[in-house]
């Protein structure tokens, strides 16, 4: 039997998003700047297997970029199964 200690999840941090026409995207090259629909003072979104689970802010740990969690997001209940997700 596998314990939960052996299960892995993929954590990712969403810096921001942008929407643009395809023709604009196709003209981009090295040095292009993409304006994100996020303000500099906003917390980043932390995703676990693609599901938002927390918010945080960027910090430097030596020469590595890290995220300090500022808020854990509330668990949602699945309406069909009555389980927390």
pLDDT in tens, 31-61: 999 999 988 889 999 999 999 999 999 999 9
Residues 41 and 20 sit within 8 Å (Cβ to Cβ): no
Quick one: 22 exposed, middle or buried, by C-beta within 10 A (0-12, 13-18, 19+)?
exposed
Structure confidence at residue 84 (pLDDT): 57
Please list the residues that pair with 49 across neighbouring strands: none
Confidence of residue 79 (pLDDT cuts 50, 70, 90): low
Confidence of residue 85 (pLDDT cuts 50, 70, 90): low
Structure confidence at residue 4 (pLDDT): 87
Domain boundaries, the chain: 4-72
Q: Which helix (H) or strand (E) holds 53?
A: strand 51-61
CA pair distance 10, 49, nearest whole angstrom: 5
CATH 2.30.330.10 corresponds to the domain 4-72: yes
The pTM of the full predicted model, rounded to 2 decimals, is 0.70
């Amino acid at each position: 039997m596998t314990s939960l200690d052996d299960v892995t999840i993929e954590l990712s941090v969403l810096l921001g998003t942008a929407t643009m026409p395809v023709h604009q995207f196709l003209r981009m090259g090295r040095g292009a700047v993409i304006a994100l629909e996020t303000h500099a003072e906003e917390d980043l979104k932390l995703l676990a297997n693609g599901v938002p689970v927390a918010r945080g802010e960027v910090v430097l740990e030596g020469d590595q970029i890290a995220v300090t969690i500022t808020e854990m997001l509330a668990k949602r209940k699945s309406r069909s199964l009555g389980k927390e997700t």
